[in-house]
Amino acid sequence: MAEENPILQKRGERFTESEDHQDWTSECAHYGTPASEIKNFTTECLGFGGYMVFNPYPILVCDSCVEKNQKLLSKATQDQWNKFILDNFEGPPADALKPDKVPVLV
């Protein structure tokens, strides 16, 4: 995966010697914005047993990049993802939504 993405490849080269998740998540994986300057973000990692898999993971992605990537998804893909989440993850009661996505007081 990283071999096909020049941004991830450069990250891998910079952090290749590190197995400290804080190094790998010290900046946005897409634009390199320092984590200390990012208000909201998403992190992703990959584990196998009791071990974390490094390169290209773990990654930190700022909300701005997440939003840009979500806009690239087709409506069909977004709908499929929403259906998957609703079918498989109950979530906290405060997140309960009617089908028309209007919040429900629980």
Is there a single domain that holds both residue 62 and residue 78?
A: no
The span from the CA of 12 to the CA of 30, in Å, is 13
Is there a single domain that holds both residue 8 and residue 43?
A: yes
How buried is residue 35: exposed, middle or buried, by Cβ count under 10 Å (0-12/13-18/19+)? middle
* Mean local confidence (pLDDT), 3-9: 75
How many domains does the structure of the chain reveal? 2
Is there a single domain that holds both residue 52 and residue 78?
A: no
Q: Supply the pTM of this predicted model.
A: 0.65
Task: Check residue 106 and give its pLDDT.
Answer: 38
Is there a single domain that holds both residue 79 and residue 61?
A: no
Whole domain around residue 105: which residue ranges?
Answer: 74-106
Cβ–Cβ < 8 Å for 94, 61: no
Q: Any idea which of 14-18, 40-44, 55-59, 96-100 has the lowest mean pLDDT?
A: 96-100
Per-residue model confidence as pLDDT tens digits over 45-103: 999 888 888 888 899 999 999 889 888 889 999 899 888 888 887 766 555 555 555 44
